[in-house]
Structure 1
Amino acid sequence: MAKSKKQVKVHPTNKRKLKRQNEEKELQELEKKASDPQTNSNCKLFSELPISTKTIEGLKRANFVELTDIQRKAIPLGLAKRDVLGAAKTGSGKTLAFLIPILEVLYRAKWNQEDGLGALVISPTRELAVQIFEVLKKIGKQHMLSAGLIIGGKDLNVEQERVAKMNILVATPGRLLQHMDQTAGFDCDNLQVLVLDEADRILDMGFQKELNAIVENLPKQRQTLLFSATQTKSVKDLARLSLRDPEYVAVHEKADHSTPQKLSQNFLVCELPKKLDILYSFIRTHLKSKIVVFISSCNQTRFVYEAFCKLHPGIPLLHLHGKQKQTKRVEIFRKYCSMANAVLFATDIAARGLDFPAVDWVIQLDCPEDADTYIHRVGRTARFDAAGSALMFLLPSEKEAMQAELAKKKVPVEEVKIRASKQQSIQNQLQSFCFQDPEIKYLGQKAFIAYMRSVYLQKNKDIFKVHELPAEQYAQSLGLPGAPKIKFVKASAAKEAQRAEAKAKQAVAADESSSEEEDSDDEEETAPTTKVTKPTSKIEKMFLRKNQNILSEHYNKLVDHEDDNDLLNNEAGEDDEFITIKRRDHKLESDEENEPMLPTSKRQLNLSKKELAKKQSKGERIIFDDEGKPHALYEMQDEASFLKAGDAATQKAKFLEEEGSVMKEADIEDKQVAKEKRREKRLAKKLREREQLENGDEAGAVLGGSSDESGDDMEEDESPSQGAGQKREPKWFEDDSSDEEESRKRAKLIEVEQPESIADQEALALRLLGAA
């Protein structure tokens, strides 16, 4: 028989050493391979990249195998710790292009909980932040790193307990800044990687203040990654983020179109009152499709959703906008992702980064703000080489300018026309809904105002012309009996008229200037020149108005009447001026603050006195110094003047000592007063006893005991002036007979000695009964 080989057992400590050595070798190899991004730019599979086995396993479980174009170029640069500006079409896989470098950079640095926050991902919307966090959980399961999601709409206290322990954070700008200001222990000094997803949206005016405040709290020595479908190249934006020689990765910059190739893009021209009719007809003919309808405002979105729910088009309806609570938004997002056929009415909150699976149609009911917004909206379909369709509704006044904007961005769109035979009018039904349901009518009014305001506030006035919109017809199409009054529409028309006049004046001025140049220089020197300065402020414009009675109150406050007063005084004569006393008309600041609030609107006119009193400012107590200047009752002291009297501890001890001595003196005085009161009571008590003895009230002493044995409470209630010996005054219902009866009772009292035996007591009882 063959001898069995001996099995060599390895000690556990040696196993740990071997494991550590293998990990060290792996990290060193990954660091060398990742340092040269050019050698890794030709990889086609994730397994070919210089990344750890833990990340590869997570990618396999999430079914990520092949690299997209943006991932092939951006991930090697991210692994090499370079700053990256990544621009690619929507649906091209930008999320993995920054999540994989985050995991690998922290893994190679041996990051753990004690090191604190290592990577920060900032997203413009909550839905996109939730989506990024879900992808991070899938691919990062094997890593020993903690990750957290901080967005608005959740409990701040729960987040504060955990945020300081996180290594990777996915956040929205507002909530992140709130934690930086309020959460104790939240430290970003060791941050390694900063990522801005949809960077162009975060860097614009909407998040400018928040982002500047966030960047001030971050270290400058970090890696920064910016990704978006429409990337910014502004030098100011890059300087704000302290980027160091960023690598610009634009995968589709040389492509013929900025949108996916398999995306069919069309637009139709229709009048504003016909929009909802065409949309309803479109939904009725596409009941087996998954559709996203983009609307410009939250109020419009809610009105269209509520109205179409009452119309019952035959397909599930959902709506998503910024005024919903966070839990509701997440619920709707997940519900729509799981549905095969549905219509989602949404604002631009759903236009960026969200991955809705298998969307067939993207309908833009309202014209997008610009070409970039159009690209992000249509990116919700035709994702990851899938096919999709997009349709945009344009008004006749928006057509030419919007086509020019899209042409600049290489966006091919074709015009289509709607068959009149397939259109259905829903105007009569909307009118009946508004008549029967006040809530629908109210939503319709809010939707009308919101749409007009959104058009009015748009920057590109070549596309958006609010004064050309048919307001009355649009209100009727919403089912309203009439158009609500809107002030800014009239203001826009006035501004347009002023612009036209200014252009005409500029043309005339140009002609006059050309004719003036032909005149001689001598004539120009001798001719008197009067410059007419245009008013620059509202106050100057107000003084130039002819009818000052309209603003008489404001005018009288602003106009200087000293000249008028001087003129009146001079007319009165020198003698009168000698006698008269001029008093300066002034108001204290406290008086101005405490003036009663005057009603400025119909709602305030209907308020009660209590409600008006609640809203107006509260009065403050003031004191006056020797010079007559008002001061607050309690004024804050600066630190320097406070420390002149010593530090806080010594001042506190001094204050307690002084107040303690005052309290002791007050205690002594209180004790003395109490002692005097007790002495006066005893004296009054003795006086009453003396009066009783003098009046011969001996029977009370025999039967009831002495007055010294009576309770103190009864004596305290009796006043000294009304003693037991004094005669009581009769009441209004009593007469003199009562006094006689009382004297008779007193006369019947018998003086006896104290009984000593039972026989004595029986004899006494018989005598008392006989007397009665």
Structure 2
Amino acid sequence: MDDDLVLNVDVGHDTANTARSSHARKGGRWTDRLKAKRVSKRKIRPSDNDVDETPAHAVESRPAKRPRHIPESQKEIRKDSVPSKSTSTQSRAPAQFISSLFTSNPKVEAPVAGGPKGKQTAAPSNAPLADSSTFAGLGLDPLLVTHLSSKMNILKPTSIQKAALPPFLLPSPENVDRDVFIQSQTGSGKTLSFLLPILQDLLPLSTNSYIDRSIGTLAIIIAPTRELAKQIHDVLEALLKLRLRPEEESAADSTPSSARLTRWLVSGLLTGGATRTHEKARIRKGLPIVVATPGRLLDHLQNTSTFNVEKCRWLVLDEADRLMDLGFEETITGIVRGLDGRRNLAKQAVEEGKSTEVGGWDWSRQRRTVLCSATIREDVQKLAGTTLTRPIVIKATEADMPVEGALDAVGAVPTTEKFTPPSQLSQKYVVVPLKLRLVALVALLRFLLSKSSKRPGESKIIVFLSCTDSVDFHWQILGGTAMNESNNEQSDGESDDDDESGDEEAKPRKEKVSLQSPLLPDASIYRLHGSLPTPTRLASLRAFSAVGKGQNVTSSILLCTSVASRGLDLPLVRAVVQYDLPTEGGATEYVHRVGRTARAGKGGEAWSIVSPSEAEWAKWVVTKMHGTTEESENKSIRITPISVENVLRDGFGGKSKEYEDRATEVQLAFERWVLRRKEHGELARKAYLSHMRAYSTHPTNEKHIFHIRHLHLGHLAKSFALRDAPNAVAGKTNKSKNNSASKSKSAPSPSKQAAKIGTQAKPTKWEIDHSGDAEKRMQTAVRAQGRLLKQKGVMMSSGVSEFQIPGGTDLVKLVQGAR
């Protein structure tokens, strides 16, 4: 009875509680009622004491999960990791799982046709002419013709040279002393088109007894970058080594039939980054021909009193479109006004009898300005309207005849010109998932190097990247990665071996010009960007451009930004790889980049690595190069798609899908390098963030293809050998002032973080110095310096216009009067 009573009491107590709880569910918010209804419908799980009393249908069994198969190469765990300052309270960092390269990638449609070994059979469009035309037939001096054929191995003119030389060398009464606008595609020989007429015009002046180096500067050539200025200067130096008398006359030791010429033409190079004192010393001795960058030239015009430019007869603006892109319009305007002002002052002194110069000079001869550009854009037309007088527009046409026409007051020319790459150039693109980008680049470089293994030293490859930080990172990681390391990474500085290897990679590597990689055998890797010191930039270009001479001849790979996309004539460039597509310039910048190969009628390859979200880029850029959608039906310009599987297979080899394992091992080696030292990880994170900032600068009309929200940031971080999530990468670079507050906040979504990646507050000094806008900062510094004058040994503000040079108000009046 008692037991039963107790049992009844217990049951009643449970029933009362159940009734009371069910009665409580009837009130409250509607969410509580819905929750109560779901709980009431849920099946009751049996306890250990009443298993036998539970109905069989009340127990719901769940099938066991199938174990996930993980390859052995993917089971590598980061065991020894040093926690950051924000997680110092934790005992150790959690283990990280290394994602597979070949999973969770977006589906990429296979190309319709074509393979990496396809050939281009189109006839060259920028080759020297195959007809009987010669330099002698164009009116070039026999001394220059002989020098070109015997010393420089140049026998026939290109199409643009044939079109441009006659107006200079054989002027008609209609075009005598008229300015010239030269427009031609890249790699067609524009440099000789203006250097040869300058030399032919200046050589006869040596017959005058008073002509020597002290005559001053007679020709000025302006280039947008230091590398292009150095290249033009090298070509000019090669031309100035010509013999000044015919060989048959000198051998006979007889009186020459022509007037005797003296060696007085000396060239000089004035670029930023060089020592200004040494440049002033050469200017003081006399430089009849000067090759300069705009900022340094304006600096010497304003601050070097011995810079004698009153008799300047030639002014050449090479790569005018690039000059406009870099913001040198005001600087060039100041240079032109300065030259005009100095000439007017000297001419006035001669007329008034105040000149101390001995000898006569033909002051009636006006300065001739030559403007060279591959494109005719609106800003280039504006520059032509302000600097050229009654210009002749010269371009290479199918009939190889110059098209002449006078520009109006604003320099208006037809704007329907199409800027296309050479027809013999083989153009290809590969759609690569983001986290396969790094290994795909290595595979492509290995494939291109293997195609020229029989002729090492004649294989040169240029790789374009988006920013300076990315160039430095890829240069360091390719040269520092080894494939025979252990799979167990060690923390920074915990091993003696790591310390020794780190010491070897720290200071000596920064001083090196080239590196070698075991992944790219028999190849030297160079780098080039605007933040490098000038001696390093010139040394890299010199070593990369060296033709196969000497005993240790290897292939060359140049990692660079767009600073190398204009005007540089690098010999024997077999291929151009655009690892990052241009962020500005669109199709024009693309053609300039690929124009570093297939020059002067030779063959070449252009490869572009495209992400899946950018798959429409190929069709878009072809349409831009053709001009209109209707013309794009023409197959004269075609970019062939290549599958990423073919690139990996040809680069890493192996049977079936063995290339996947090899690519994974390469990726793991890169990630081990990043984890080995703290500096490596910081370099990778800087490169990642700088790439994101550069990617966000695509213009509005390209946002439908290049939008930062289309990128998978985790996969993109893996292409920089990073294992951290994107928000963790950003957090290590830009730490919050209050770590506790930052921990309480939820992590931002990838899309929001991508939108804010380019506007992060308070960048460090290192980020400012390596932000990829070195050229813009250089322009700002040069312009600011142009507004200063030297007073009592100190650069002081003059309070006048940037383009006001010493001479006071008289110069302003003369310039205004000349107008």
Question: Conserved in 1, the CA contact under 8 Å of 2:178 and 2:392?
Answer: yes
Aligned to 2:198: 102
Distance 1:250 1:443, change over 3 A: same
Q: Give the partner amino acid of 2:192.
A: L
Question: Conserved in 2, the CA contact under 8 Å of 1:297 and 1:451?
Answer: yes
Tell me, yes or no, if structure 1 residue 146 matches structure 2 residue 266: yes
Aligned to 2:709: 467
Distance 1:602 1:206, change over 3 A: closer
Question: After the TM superposition, which parts of structure 1 deviate over 6 Å for at least 4 consecutive aligned residues?
Answer: 252-257, 486-498, 600-604
Instruction: Give distance in 2, aligned partners of 1:183 and 1:349.
Output: 29
Aligned to 1:308: 478
Q: Tell me the alpha carbon deviations over residues 139-167 of structure 1, each in whole angstroms, 9 at most, x when there is no partner.
A: 12345312111112221101012124111
SS where residue 153 of structure 1 aligns?
coil
1:237 to 380, 383, 387: 383
Instruction: List gaps (5 residues or longer) in structure 2.
Output: 1-130, 172-176, 245-262, 342-365, 401-416, 454-458, 482-517, 549-553, 627-636, 649-656, 735-746, 766-795, 800-819
Instruction: Give distance in 1, aligned partners of 2:264 and 2:180.
Output: 26
Q: Give the partner amino acid of 1:374.
A: Y
SS where residue 360 of structure 1 aligns?
strand
Distance 1:409 1:243, change over 3 A: farther
Aligned to 1:185: 306
Q: Give the partner amino acid of 1:133.
A: H
Tell me, yes or no, if structure 1 residue 430 matches structure 2 residue 670: yes
SS where residue 75 of structure 1 aligns?
helix
Equivalent residues in 2 for 1:489-508, closer than 5 Å? none
Equivalent residues in 2 for 1:473-488, closer than 5 Å? 473-480=715-722, 481-483=724-726, 484-485=729-730
2:640 to 409, 414, 436: 414
Q: Give the partner amino acid of 2:297.
A: L
Instruction: Give distance in 2, aligned partners of 1:392 and 1:211.
Output: 35
1:271 to 433, 439, 450: 433
Instruction: Give distance in 1, aligned partners of 2:763 and 2:703.
Output: 34
Q: CA deviation at 1:180?
A: 1.7
Aligned to 1:55: 144
SS where residue 160 of structure 1 aligns?
helix
SS where residue 427 of structure 1 aligns?
helix
1:249 to 395, 419, 429: 395
Aligned to 1:523: none
1:320 to 528, 534, 542: 528
Aligned to 1:546: none
Equivalent residues in 2 for 1:495-644, closer than 5 Å? none
Q: Give the partner amino acid of 2:265.
A: L
Tell me, yes or no, if structure 1 residue 211 matches structure 2 residue 332: yes
Instruction: Give distance in 2, aligned partners of 1:265 and 1:253.
Output: 26
Instruction: Give distance in 1, aligned partners of 2:288 and 2:690.
Output: 42
State the percentage of identical aligned residues: 33
Equivalent residues in 2 for 1:358-397, closer than 5 Å? 358-368=572-582, 369=584, 370-397=586-613
Q: CA deviation at 1:601?
A: 6.3
2:165 to 62, 67, 75: 75
Question: Conserved in 2, the CA contact under 8 Å of 1:153 and 1:326?
Answer: yes
2:682 to 438, 442, 447: 442
SS where residue 328 of structure 2 aligns?
helix
2:564 to 332, 350, 364: 350
Aligned to 1:13: none
Distance 1:601 1:414, change over 3 A: closer
Moved more, 82-91 or 448-457: 82-91
Instruction: Give distance in 1, aligned partners of 2:754 and 2:677.
Output: 38
Q: CA deviation at 1:414?
A: 1.8
Instruction: Give distance in 1, aligned partners of 2:334 and 2:619.
Output: 38
Instruction: Give distance in 2, aligned partners of 1:193 and 1:492.
Output: 56
Instruction: Give distance in 1, aligned partners of 2:164 and 2:202.
Output: 17
2:544 to 330, 336, 351: 336
Q: CA deviation at 1:171?
A: 0.8
Question: Conserved in 2, the CA contact under 8 Å of 1:188 and 1:219?
Answer: no
Tell me, yes or no, if structure 1 residue 161 matches structure 2 residue 281: yes
Q: CA deviation at 1:253?
A: 11
Distance 1:252 1:463, change over 3 A: farther
State the structure with bigger RCO (CA 8 A, min sep 6), 1 or 2.
Answer: 2
Instruction: Give distance in 2, aligned partners of 1:603 and 1:280.
Output: 32
1:133 to 215, 223, 233: 233
Aligned to 2:188: 92
Q: Give the partner amino acid of 1:436.
A: R
SS where residue 86 of structure 1 aligns?
strand
Tell me, yes or no, if structure 1 residue 454 matches structure 2 residue 694: yes
Q: State the TM-score, normalizing by the size of structure 2.
A: 0.53
Instruction: Give distance in 1, aligned partners of 2:215 and 2:204.
Output: 13
Distance 1:457 1:244, change over 3 A: same
Distance 1:603 1:130, change over 3 A: closer
Question: Conserved in 2, the CA contact under 8 Å of 1:122 and 1:170?
Answer: yes
Distance 1:205 1:286, change over 3 A: closer
Q: Tell me the alpha carbon deviations over residues 497-518 of structure 1, each in whole angstroms, 9 at most, x when there is no partner.
A: 99xxxxxxxxxxxxxxxxxxxx
User: Which is higher, the Rg of structure 1 or of structure 2?
Assistant: 1
1:46 to 135, 155, 159: 135
Instruction: Give distance in 2, aligned partners of 1:446 and 1:308.
Output: 17
Question: Conserved in 2, the CA contact under 8 Å of 1:199 and 1:231?
Answer: no
Q: CA deviation at 1:62?
A: 1.9
Higher helix share: 1
SS where residue 85 of structure 1 aligns?
strand
Instruction: Give distance in 2, aligned partners of 1:148 and 1:450.
Output: 37
Q: Give the partner amino acid of 1:226.
A: L
Question: Conserved in 1, the CA contact under 8 Å of 2:467 and 2:690?
Answer: yes
Q: Tell me the alpha carbon deviations over residues 291-326 of structure 1, each in whole angstroms, 9 at most, x when there is no partner.
A: 111111111011011111123212322212222111
Q: Give the partner amino acid of 1:319.
A: R
Q: Give the partner amino acid of 1:243.
A: T
Distance 1:602 1:306, change over 3 A: closer
SS where residue 566 of structure 2 aligns?
coil
Distance 1:455 1:154, change over 3 A: same
Question: Conserved in 1, the CA contact under 8 Å of 2:524 and 2:555?
Answer: yes
Q: Give the partner amino acid of 1:308.
A: L
RMSD: 3.4
Question: Conserved in 1, the CA contact under 8 Å of 2:462 and 2:557?
Answer: yes
SS where residue 345 of structure 1 aligns?
strand
Question: Conserved in 2, the CA contact under 8 Å of 1:401 and 1:462?
Answer: no
Instruction: Give distance in 2, aligned partners of 1:301 and 1:294.
Output: 9
Q: CA deviation at 1:267?
A: 0.8
Instruction: List gaps (5 residues or longer) in structure 1.
Output: 1-41, 499-599, 605-635, 640-772
Q: Give the partner amino acid of 2:473.
A: F
SS where residue 397 of structure 1 aligns?
helix
Q: CA deviation at 1:187?
A: 3.5
Q: Give the partner amino acid of 1:66.
A: K
Instruction: Give distance in 2, aligned partners of 1:208 and 1:417.
Output: 44
Number of equivalenced pairs: 465
Q: Tell me the alpha carbon deviations over residues 60-95 of structure 1, each in whole angstroms, 9 at most, x when there is no partner.
A: 322222111000001122333432222222221111
